[in-house]
Amino acid sequence: MNPIFTIGELKRVLTPGGLLILSTPNLTSLSGLINIVFKNRAHSCSGNIYDEYSKLETLGHMGHVREYTVTELAEFLARFGFQIRQIAYRGTYAKSLWKNLLTRFFPKLAPFFTIIAVKN
C-alpha cells in the first residue's frame, strides 16, 4: 500500500548491482487507452476503486488501485537511485485477435510491462 516504503526496502536489501524486476499492468495499454478515451475510466485491467480497496477486508491485501505508465514508474525508481536496464512489454488480450495483432506491431500497447533496474 506504500510504494515508497516498499521500493525503499527493496533498495535496502539489494546489494550494489542487484537487479529489481518489477511487473505491473500498463495504464497506456490498448485496453487502458480505450478505457480512458471511451469509458472515462483510468484503469487498464483492474476493477473500480471500491472493489480494489475492499480486497483489504476480503483478501487481506489490495489489488491495483493505481496503475502506471512506463515513464512514471521509471522516474519513480530513479528517485531511489535505480538505473533502468530494460523495459519489456508483455501479455496478450484474451479472446481478442485484433488487439493481439495490433500489439505485435505496437508492443507498447501490451497489457503489462516489466522494468528491470539495477541498484547503483
Name the grid cell of 58. Answer: 476480503
The predicted model scores a pTM of 0.85
3-state SS, one letter per residue, for 48-96: CHHHHHHHHHHCCCCCCCCCECHHHHHHHHHHCCEEEEEEEEECCCCCC
Domain containing residue 65: CATH number:
3.40.50.150
pLDDT in tens, 1-56: 789 999 999 999 999 999 999 999 999 999 999 989 998 887 766 667 788 888 88
Domain that holds residue 96: 3-119
Using a 10 angstrom Cβ sphere, with 0-12 exposed, 13-18 middle and 19 or more buried, the burial of residue 111 is buried
Which amino acid does the sequence have at 95? Answer: K
pLDDT in tens, 52-93: 888 889 998 877 778 899 999 999 999 999 999 999 999 999
Sign of CA dihedral 83, 2, 56, 59: positive
Count the domains in the chain.
1
